[in-house]
Chains A and B, each alone.
Chain A
Amino acid sequence: MLRRRLNRLLGGDENRVDSRTIYVGHQPCSATEGFTPPKFCDNRIVSSKYTLWNFLPKNLFEQFRRIANFYFLIIFLVQVIVDTPTSPVTSGLPLFFVITVTAIKQGYEDWLRHKADNEVNKYPVRVLEDGRQTSKESEKIKVGDIVEVIEDETFPCDLILLQSSREDDTCFVTTASLDGESNHKTHYTVPDTEKDLESLSATIECEQPQPDLYKFVGRMHIYKPDQDPLVRSLGPENLLLKGATLKNTKKIYGVAVYTGMETKMALNYQGKSQKRSAVEKSINAFLLVYLCILVSKALVCTSLKYWWQSRDGQDEPWYNQKTQKEKDTNMYLKMFTDFLSFMVLFNFIIPVSMYVTVEMQKFLGSFFISWDKDFFDPEIREGALVNTSDLNEELGQVEYVFTDKTGTLTQNNMEFIECCIDGFQYKYRDSRTELDGFCVTDGPVSKLQQKAGREKEELFLRALCLCHTVQVKEAGSQVDGDQVDGLDHLNPHPEEEERGFIASSPDEVALVKGAMKYGFTFLGLESKNMKIRNRQNDVEEYELLHVLNFDPVRRRMSVIVKSKAGETLLFCKGADSSIFPRVRQEEVERIRMHVERNATEGYRTLCVAFKQLSAEEFALADAELREARLALQDREEKLMAVYNQVETGMSLIGATAVEDRLQEEAAETMEALQGAGMKVWVLTGDKMETAKSTCYACRLFQRGTELLELTVRTLEEGGRKREERLHDLLLEYHRRAVQDAPPVKGGVTRSWSTANQDYGFIIDGATLSLIMNPSLDASSSRHKNLFLQICQNCTAVLCCRMAPLQKAQIVKMVKNSKGSPITLSIGDGANDVSMILEAHVGIGIKGKEGRQAVRNSDYAIPKLKHLKKLLLAHGHLYYVRIAHLVQYFFYKNLCFILPQFLYQFFCGYSQQPLYDAAYLTMYNICFTSMPILAYSLLEQHITIEVLLDNATLYREVAKNAMLRWGPFLYWTVLGVFQGLLFFFGAWFLFSNPALQDNGQVFGNWSYGTIVFTVLVFTVTLKLALDTRHWTWINHFVIWGSLAFYVFFSFFWGGIIWPFLKQQRLYFVFANMLSSVSAWLVIILLILLSLMPDILLAVLRRPKSPRARQKIPGQSSAGGTQSSRSSARPLLMRTFSDESNTVI
């Protein structure tokens, strides 16, 4: 029994390790095998954290895991247990408030999650069971169930497509809700499954659930009576993902393979790593300082207390006897409780409310980003998106910007510019002006005929028409916003006006359109037959045999087609670097020239090659491809090997150039960023020449910039070993860029100055991997160091030919370099996700390449140009706001608690609080909280316009300037000064406590109230002094707080409160106000406390007006000059002109 169970357990384990077996429709497959339905999780999606029962304990537990909350809980407990000077209410109430608000917020959010979960889980689905169709709730689907889905429904779990209502055994889905790509994707049924699903007897073997949306390997065994089981390979094209929507297909049947939390969607939504901002680190450092202050204060007081008590008659004078209990307490225990009491008395120095205010500030503040109408893009009808509010202030601290090129710097809006066939250039000159120039027999054709042979030409155009994965949008089907092609309307053919193309990459559409311009129109793919209409308006048909998919490593794709004539052809297109080695070398030179010229102009180039496959060759390739596709393990590698083997010995037929236009204001944005002292690194997968010209176009490189190149080409120039050459080059560049450069003076003058030579650095992926993972271990760190130093001294760095992971690697390297600079990554595509996640701040562009980048980003903006405002205005302001908030909070609590500390010296170290409990509690909650919150939301010490016009202003807050130890010290000294002033001002006054004109005297509560009044007014007015931007809200809140304080004090002292044990403040405030002396001392102390600030503001005076004056003079750094130039710079224009003359 036990053994059997153990066996099963082990067996189960085994299953879990590599793959799972699914019985389609829960049908036993062969008599020999015992049918034991394996256990899988059910199809319930649980994204909620709590249930009704565990909410309270679990939520409390999680809240108190935060160190701050825990600290306040401890303080509270100490107050409850130990006899402490202040009642537990003073710290319990704020803590309770904070905890409750957070709990309510989290509870509400969890309730929303529950609701959403239920909506998904209770959704009715139809399941085939024993031949009957039954309706079930979505959550009851089990692995192996056959599920029916109709058009426009979302898939309830991950399904393997078995049957489609479409004749060609395909179905279309959109994964808009998964990755944002709204184009229709084709999925295929498993071949050779029976039409009658009821009698289908099959098992599916597939890998265990994993989160990669685009990977799936599996195998289906189909058992037929009297036959050997058929084996069919399953790939991502057979898998329908939960969350995707069925389109254009009446209904499909599929078998559930992954359910519930094991679906790819659920696996993908399991949290992101939390990013912490630098400000938070500063807060923690300051907290530590204040904790030290707190502990040392308590220690000083405790030790002084015992020293004082040891003197005669002080410990227990006759008028102040101890209780019996106190007398009995152990001396050391008493010391300890005294220490705790002092801690409690001074604990307000680290206020609960700071956390609340900081959180509120971040949360509410982030609304301004999503509210900003400047971020609204009319094209996609969306504004900015804030995924996290934790990093607002980090936007004002960015030192390194890593940007993707395609789709970020450029529009990813491809336009076919020209092509080169067999070494002859074809440029479609009038494409923009002449609308009806696309006729088959029109001008360009005659030109074509002069250049290359007609054969070659047509072959090339056919290649363009065949070698792609573009789909033709079906006429009549309404397609929403996925206009990958912006040129639809240019099409003169009436019947083609409805024709749109859908593709995963805009390049492909541009190429197909390009071919169309030259007379070859792709009509569509129908049951493995590709139809094209040639120049003679004949329809040619090709049978699509294989698609060798594009992947970023191979950087090429191929198709194998069979023409009507029976020829088997392989067409391949890809990056020059990946095509050139695979074609006959004599053809390369003619075309290389064109490719390189096109690349320098900033076009994206692709080379097209073809190869005729003999029957044997094809048979071999076919067999190998099929085998590789069936492989369960290492399928990718095996496929790659076969692809590489097939794509050899081709002949080059031509090259294409597609223009990817710059984003609006890309150059201005980049210039502003550089002016703001940020270093911009372009990380792209594109080739060097293209990327370089984009950099010139964006003015990252300028004419005076000296380029330091470190690419495979420069490495191979010397003819020596790469490593040696690399070493030499690095040393040389280091000498030039680092050693010869004048020493950089701190953050402000960094990198932007006209006198110095600007350096630009170019590196490619291969070289980078040489630097990052060299063969010689000894030199590795040295190389890396040299590289980093060079890069840090360059204004712009271009890294081309980067794999996504290399991008992240670079970001990580910079992030961890000396001084740990703040990095920002911006990108729009799935290939940028890794660097977006790696950088301190990740920005996604709501671009064309799906929503993956947006989903993983911290902030998403529609266009690159919005980055400027996001950083220079929002980031700067947020930083100033939160930095001021933090400093102010520490300051106001220091001068709040310092008098209380000083008072201990005059009350026999007895922990007597100076202020009444109500004041202690309300100080941070009511009296001083609102003005700083309003300030931290509304302050614009420099208006947004000025910030945008003067990029250099950004440098004033660089390197965490407002939260370094210097400013912190200033605030602390200010707090100490004011605290001393408050206390001793009142102390001198109370040397004669007869302060009223009727000779009556004031007591200790009057003393505290005077100090407290001065305190509240001073800290509020101090903030008023710092406020540079007085909106009505600021006025309301600042004057309102003061008025509220006065009102509250009257009210609190005006009534005998039945629930209070002691009526300490009864008419204390009113009596205080009836004393002229009290008025005079309050006014004097407030004025004196604010004096240093006023003085400093006056002495610092030249600074802020200068910033404003700079607008006309200094703007060369920022905006005005750049706005004059058009998007395409001079350099590019001359090149293009030149190319025109070639024709």
Chain B
Amino acid sequence: MMASSYNAKEEDGHHSGASGPGSSTVKSRKPDNTAFKQQRLPAWQPILTAGTVLPAFFVIGLIFIPIGIGLYVTSNNIKEFEIDYTGIDMSSPCFNCSQSFSWNSSVPCKCSLAFSLDQPFESNVFMYYGLSNFYQNHRRYVKSRDDSQLNGDSFSLTNPSKECEPYRTSENKPIAPCGAIANSLFNDTLELFYIDPNGTRTPIPLIKKGIAWWTDKHVKFRNPGGNNSNLTAIFQGTSKPVNWRKPVYELDTDPENNGFINEDFIVWMRTAALPTFRKLYRIIQKKNNMTPTLPRGNYTLEVTYNYPVRSFEGRKRMILSTISWMGGKNPFLGIAYITVGSVCFFLGVVLLIIHHKYGNRNNSSDIPN
């Protein structure tokens, strides 16, 4: 009795349990003859040999190269047009706007850029705005939001999260939507006009529906007050973000796109991964099969220049792009797949040669050692 009690007590007890069946009752002294306890579980013992790996290399090569070519071709077929409208150069039409920027000016500065498309854009065209050197992924910036406020929580509406500092309150009223992200909402207005060969300007219809993730628009972002459509009343007692020109309930006239569920706002709120990024601005829907969405020719981009970027050496771009099944234009994937596929194939060939030439000799020379 003493012995067993002391065994259990020995040491920190760190190992007492480890003595396992040895110290337990006499009956169970004989270890169980189970496959698990005897480490004899049936097992599959694969060995990577040239025999298994070589075909794999060839197969990978054979699969990857076509995929890569497909990706590359797809990416190349995507039409993309990009125009910088920051207005750094004296020659740029937006130079004046970018120079004379002031948050308080009541008259918006407008500028228009002419550009031409060499090739027609056939299918739906997506219009992006791009920013450079804009650190939307800065930690202080990323966390400066209140998701429960944006989700329509009435308490958070008037009591925004601490994370929103210093964009939490203004003039002793809570800001809705609070935080740095919301505050810095991209507010340039971009309009596109097609210049007919005969000189008439036809505005191109820009659709602002469907630019945000469906789940964001319908679940994550909710206006406070439920079905109450009178947003003005709901947002009573809150203040607009300091850098906004108009309050959140005046973002759009369409009640389905106003307040927190404004799609431009939602898109902006999804912080970009890298300091150079693009965000979806508008969609140009294909009209019919006969005419291209954007025929080749001359266009003007009308910019309402509200968004200052020169203070941090940023750039603004407008991008027109078609989209394929793989998304926007990006040759990287295609090139990567072709490279990896060829490397695999090449390795397969090299290994095959090595295997055939030296494989046997290697084996035999190793044994006497």
Contact = CB atoms under 8 A, between A and B. Distances in A.
A1087 B363 contact: no
A987 B136 CA distance: 16
A1102 B362 contact: yes
A985 B270 CA distance: 21
Contact of B48 (A116, A319, A907, A1097): A1097
Contact of A385 (B22, B146, B278, B280): B22
B323 interface: yes
B5 interface: yes
Interface residues of A, number: 123
A1063 B163 CA distance: 14
A1095 B308 CA distance: 52
Nearest to A1101: B49
A953 interface: no
Interface in A903-947: 906-908, 910-913, 938, 940, 943-944
Given A116-B8, A1104-B47, A997 B326 contact: yes
Given A119-B5, A938-B39, A994 B321 contact: yes
A562 B134 CA distance: 110
B180 A320 contact: yes
Nearest to B322: A999
A681 B19 CA distance: 28
B273 A1007 contact: yes
Given A1001-B278, A1001-B280, A368 B37 contact: yes
Nearest to B67: A1080
Interface in B248-268: 267
Nearest to B164: A323
B9 A994 contact: no
A1098 B351 contact: yes
A1029 interface: yes
Given A906-B275, A910-B140, A994-B128, A269 B9 contact: yes
Contact of B5 (A106, A120, A324, A910): A120
Given A1003-B270, A1004-B142, A386 B19 contact: yes
Contact of B15 (A387, A1006, A1067): A387
Interface in B129-148: 134-148
A537 interface: no
A458 interface: no
B18 interface: yes
A154 B22 contact: no
A322 B140 contact: yes
B198 to A, nearest CB: 32
Interface in A312-359: 312-314, 317-324
A1114 B105 CA distance: 91
A577 B211 CA distance: 101
Interface stretch (B24-32, B111-119, B223-231, B296-304): B24-32
Interface in B239-296: 243, 267, 270-275, 277-280, 283
B151 interface: yes
A386 B20 contact: yes
B367 A1106 contact: yes
A1008 B146 CA distance: 21
B18 A366 contact: yes
Given A907-B135, A944-B39, A1084-B336, A1003 B272 contact: yes
Given A381-B30, A1061-B163, A1095-B347, A1066 B216 contact: yes
A1076 interface: yes
B226 to A, nearest CB: 16
A1008 B67 CA distance: 25
Contacts of A1005: 271
A112 B13 contact: yes
A382 interface: yes
A373 interface: yes
A326 B9 CA distance: 55
A371 B139 contact: no
Interface stretch (A568-576, A660-668, A808-816, A1030-1038): A1030-1038
Contacts, number: 354
B77 interface: no
Interface string B32-74: 1100011101111111111001101000100010010001000
A1101 B363 CA distance: 10
B203 interface: no
B90 interface: no
A178 to B, nearest CB: 8
Interface string A988-1000: 1111111111111
A1030 B46 contact: yes
A725 interface: no
A1029 B1 CA distance: 42
A370 B340 CA distance: 49
Interface stretch (B92-100, B169-177, B327-335): B327-335
Contacts of A563: none
Interface in A1027-1082: 1028-1034, 1056, 1060-1063, 1066-1067, 1070-1071, 1075-1077, 1080-1081
A318 B312 CA distance: 8
Of A370, A940, A1113, which is in contact with the most chain B CB atoms at under 10 Å from its CB?
A370
Contacts of A49: 12
B154 interface: no
Nearest to A373: B31
Given A313-B313, A1056-B220, A1084-B340, A269 B10 contact: yes
B366 A1102 contact: yes
A384 interface: yes
A560 to B, nearest CB: 37
B91 interface: no
Contacts of B13: 106, 109-110, 112-113
B106 interface: no
B120 interface: no
A1030 B138 contact: no
A289 interface: no
B328 A373 contact: no
Interface in A369-385: 370-373, 375-376, 381-385
Contact of A1056 (B128, B211, B219, B277): B219
A1030 B42 CA distance: 8
Contact of B166 (A47, A322, A1060): A322
Given A321-B166, A371-B38, A906-B274, A999 B313 contact: no
A970 interface: no
A387 B49 contact: no
B190 to A, nearest CB: 15
A1088 interface: yes
A466 B213 CA distance: 101
B202 interface: no
A30 interface: no
A648 interface: no
Interface string B206-223: 000011110110011000
A950 B139 CA distance: 58
A320 B5 contact: no
Contacts of A363: 17-18
A1064 to B, nearest CB: 8
A285 interface: no
Contacts of B6: 47, 116, 177, 243, 265, 269
7 contacts: A109-B12, A319-B183, A993-B274, A994-B323, A1001-B278, A1066-B220, A1080-B337
Which 10 residue pairs spanning A and B have beta carbons closest together? A109-B13, A319-B184, A994-B328, A370-B20, A177-B3, A1007-B273, A116-B5, A999-B126, A371-B37, A313-B312
Given A389-B15, A1061-B163, 5 more contacts: A109-B16, A312-B313, A373-B31, A384-B22, A992-B327
Interface of A: 47, 49, 85, 106, 109-110, 112-113, 116-117, 119-120, 154, 176-177, 243, 265, 269, 271-272, 312-314, 317-324, 363, 366-368, 370-373, 375-376, 381-390, 906-908, 910-913, 938, 940, 943-944, 985, 987-1008, 1025, 1028-1034, 1056, 1060-1063, 1066-1067, 1070-1071, 1075-1077, 1080-1081, 1084, 1087-1088, 1091, 1094-1095, 1097-1098, 1101-1102, 1104-1106, 1109-1110, 1113
